[in-house]
Amino acid sequence: MAITIRKGQKKDLPAVHQLVCELATYEKANGEVTASLEDYEQDFEANIFETLVAEEEGVILGMMLYYMTYSTWKGRMLYLEDFVITQSQRQRGIGQLLFNAFLGEARKKKAVLAKWQVLDWNEPAVRFYEKNGAQIEKEWWTVKVFM
């Protein structure tokens, strides 16, 4: 079967939301996804974020959710918020196809930088990113405030 990588559409958001919930389970953060499908739909329509999806025979097997942001030091930046392949479909090269498409989107948007986070214990992801030439900044801490 052929894997198709394409820009996500509103009709894909239920699958995207489900994959985010699957990712939360993988990251041992069950119950921490509080954004609803309705939130996704509203924010997608407001162009707050975009998605890429990996599809086979009409079934979404993986996705990336990203948005433009800005680095005051470097300029345009594409931020990768989430990247997940459903567990049963990992090790098929789907992640590499999605990652390549994401970098293509960054180039198309004239971003000078793509950025994301990875959990320090997620060794398969760390190896994947290093294999793809990513620089992992271990000295920066994540800081956040909930409203």
The active-site residue, picked from 67, 70, 79, 129, is 129
How far CA 55 is from CA of 72, 87, 140, in Å, comes to 36, 14, 35
Q: Reply yes or no on whether 40 is catalytic.
A: no
- Dihedral (Cα; 139, 144, 63, 73), 10-degree rounding: -50
Residues identified as active-site:
129
